[in-house]
Amino acid sequence: GAVVSQHPSWVICKSGTSVKIECRSLDFQATTMFWYRQFPKQSLMLMATSNEGSKATYEQGVEKDKFLINHASLTLSTLTVTSAHPEDSSFYICSATDFNSPLHFGNGTRLTVT
Protein backbone atom coordinates (compact mmCIF):
# COMPACT_ATOMS: atom_id res chain seq x y z
CA GLY A 1 0.00 0.00 0.00
CA ALA A 2 0.89 3.64 -0.22
CA VAL A 3 3.53 4.78 2.24
CA VAL A 4 4.46 8.18 3.53
CA SER A 5 7.91 8.50 5.05
CA GLN A 6 8.69 11.24 7.52
CA HIS A 7 12.23 12.10 8.58
CA PRO A 8 13.65 12.48 11.12
CA SER A 9 11.50 10.57 13.59
CA TRP A 10 12.89 12.63 16.43
CA VAL A 11 15.17 15.63 16.74
CA ILE A 12 16.59 17.68 19.57
CA CYS A 13 17.82 21.18 18.82
CA LYS A 14 18.96 24.24 20.70
CA SER A 15 16.80 27.30 21.07
CA GLY A 16 17.31 29.72 18.19
CA THR A 17 18.28 27.15 15.60
CA SER A 18 16.16 25.93 12.68
CA VAL A 19 14.99 22.40 12.04
CA LYS A 20 13.80 20.86 8.78
CA ILE A 21 11.36 17.94 8.66
CA GLU A 22 10.84 16.00 5.44
CA CYS A 23 7.71 14.21 4.28
CA ARG A 24 7.97 11.90 1.28
CA SER A 25 5.36 9.90 -0.56
CA LEU A 26 7.13 6.70 -1.57
CA ASP A 27 4.88 5.11 -4.16
CA PHE A 28 2.42 7.75 -5.30
CA GLN A 29 2.46 11.36 -6.41
CA ALA A 30 1.15 13.51 -3.61
CA THR A 31 -0.58 16.50 -5.12
CA THR A 32 -1.46 17.74 -1.64
CA MET A 33 0.27 17.35 1.69
CA PHE A 34 -0.97 18.43 5.10
CA TRP A 35 1.06 19.30 8.17
CA TYR A 36 -0.33 18.73 11.65
CA ARG A 37 0.91 19.45 15.12
CA GLN A 38 -0.02 17.23 18.04
CA PHE A 39 0.37 18.37 21.62
CA PRO A 40 0.67 15.79 24.40
CA LYS A 41 -2.65 14.10 25.08
CA GLN A 42 -4.35 16.41 22.61
CA SER A 43 -5.65 16.23 19.12
CA LEU A 44 -3.92 16.90 15.85
CA MET A 45 -4.13 20.52 14.85
CA LEU A 46 -3.95 21.25 11.15
CA MET A 47 -1.19 23.76 10.52
CA ALA A 48 -1.16 24.12 6.77
CA THR A 49 -2.06 22.61 3.44
CA SER A 50 0.56 22.48 0.71
CA ASN A 51 -0.05 21.86 -2.95
CA GLU A 52 2.81 20.96 -5.23
CA GLY A 53 4.31 23.98 -6.90
CA SER A 54 2.34 26.60 -5.02
CA LYS A 55 2.47 28.42 -1.71
CA ALA A 56 1.13 26.68 1.35
CA THR A 57 -2.18 27.72 2.86
CA TYR A 58 -1.83 28.24 6.60
CA GLU A 59 -4.55 27.82 9.18
CA GLN A 60 -5.54 30.76 11.31
CA GLY A 61 -3.11 31.39 14.12
CA VAL A 62 -0.18 29.56 12.52
CA GLU A 63 2.85 31.79 11.93
CA LYS A 64 3.93 31.56 8.30
CA ASP A 65 7.38 32.92 8.98
CA LYS A 66 7.94 30.50 11.85
CA PHE A 67 6.80 27.37 10.03
CA LEU A 68 8.08 27.43 6.47
CA ILE A 69 6.55 24.85 4.15
CA ASN A 70 7.91 23.92 0.76
CA HIS A 71 6.30 21.42 -1.62
CA ALA A 72 8.71 21.51 -4.52
CA SER A 73 7.90 18.13 -6.02
CA LEU A 74 5.08 15.61 -6.12
CA THR A 75 6.89 13.36 -3.67
CA LEU A 76 8.44 15.76 -1.16
CA SER A 77 7.23 18.45 1.22
CA THR A 78 9.36 20.02 3.94
CA LEU A 79 8.46 21.87 7.12
CA THR A 80 11.15 24.12 8.55
CA VAL A 81 10.72 25.37 12.10
CA THR A 82 12.74 28.59 12.13
CA SER A 83 14.40 30.05 15.21
CA ALA A 84 12.91 27.29 17.31
CA HIS A 85 11.95 27.90 20.92
CA PRO A 86 10.95 25.46 23.68
CA GLU A 87 7.27 26.18 23.06
CA ASP A 88 7.71 24.76 19.54
CA SER A 89 8.46 21.37 21.07
CA SER A 90 5.75 19.07 19.80
CA PHE A 91 4.93 16.11 17.59
CA TYR A 92 4.64 17.07 13.93
CA ILE A 93 2.80 14.81 11.50
CA CYS A 94 2.42 15.02 7.75
CA SER A 95 -0.15 13.40 5.52
CA ALA A 96 -0.37 13.10 1.77
CA THR A 97 -2.94 12.41 -0.89
CA ASP A 98 -3.31 12.21 -4.63
CA PHE A 99 -7.11 12.38 -4.26
CA ASN A 100 -7.46 8.95 -5.82
CA SER A 101 -6.60 7.19 -2.60
CA PRO A 102 -7.23 7.67 1.11
CA LEU A 103 -5.11 10.08 3.07
CA HIS A 104 -1.83 8.51 4.24
CA PHE A 105 0.02 9.67 7.32
CA GLY A 106 3.68 9.71 8.18
CA ASN A 107 4.87 8.31 11.51
CA GLY A 108 5.53 11.78 12.88
CA THR A 109 8.54 13.73 14.11
CA ARG A 110 9.05 14.52 17.76
CA LEU A 111 10.80 17.87 18.11
CA THR A 112 12.38 18.88 21.40
CA VAL A 113 13.85 22.35 21.68
CA THR A 114 16.20 22.86 24.61
Partner 1 sequence: GNSVTQMEGPVTLSEEAFLTINCTYTATGYPSLFWYVQYPGEGLQLLLKATKADDKGSNKGFEATYRKETTSFHLEKGSVQVSDSAVYFCALSGGYNKLIFGAGTRLAVHP
Closer CB to partner 1, 12 or 103, in the complex: 103
- To partner 1, the closest distance from the beta carbon of 54 in angstroms equals 14
Question: What is the bridge-based pairing of β-strands 10-13 and 109-113?
Answer: parallel
- The full DSSP string for 3-30 is -EEEE-SEEEE-TT--EEEEEEESSS--
Which chain residues interact with partner 1 by CB under 8 A?
4, 6, 32, 34, 36, 41-44, 46, 49, 93, 95, 97, 99, 102-103, 105-108
What is the rounded CA–CA span in Å between residue 79 and residue 36? 10
- To partner 1, the closest distance from the beta carbon of 4 in angstroms equals 7
